[in-house]
Amino acid sequence: MTPWREVEDAEPEFAGRVRALFEGRRHHTIATLRADGAPRISGIETAFADGELTIGSMPGARKGADLRRDPRCALHSATVDPVEGAEAQWPGEAKVAGRAVAGSPGAEGEGDLFRLDVDEVVHTHLDAAATRLVVEWWTPAHGLRRVERA
């Protein structure tokens, strides 16, 4: 298992940028797998606390049922378009893939609360000159990697 704290410990600056993208907006997107294996996209809120990335699901929601049956999922931060003429200030977008583990410690209230066992973290953004797309990704096995595309 790889809790969020391991990403923060391994690459604090990278993890901080990803976390800021998730914390900067309330609503995000999660991809889960339906019983027939087809993907399901749903809205979701995330939280970072005590070194964990957590997600919740309302009582009876299909995404919670999906995650209890097959914990594989992917989160996508809210996205905003780059402002024309100020593309270099675009914060980019973040993605986290992993497995949802039910019953996050300290869970209160109704619904499902999960913590994420992290498989991959991605930050896509522009370089300082806003001329190249930069994709940085971290995995527990390979650490932080980066590619740039024109």
Q: What's the pLDDT tens digit per position in 57-89?
A: 888 899 999 999 999 999 999 999 999 999 999
The DSSP 8-state label assigned to residue 78 in this structure reads -
Distance CA 45, CA 36 (A): 25
Q: d(Cα 8, Cα 15) in Å, to the nearest integer?
A: 5
CB 102 within 8 A of CB 68: yes
Per-residue confidence (pLDDT) for residue 106, from 0 to 100: 46
Report whether 114 contacts 96 (CB < 8 A). no
- pTM of the predicted structure, to 2 decimals: 0.92
Domains of the chain and CATH, by start: 4-80+89-149 (2.30.110.10)
Give per-residue pLDDT as tens, 21-42: 999 999 999 999 999 999 999 9
Q: Mean of the per-residue pLDDT values for the chain?
A: 94
Q: Which amino acid is at 114?
A: F
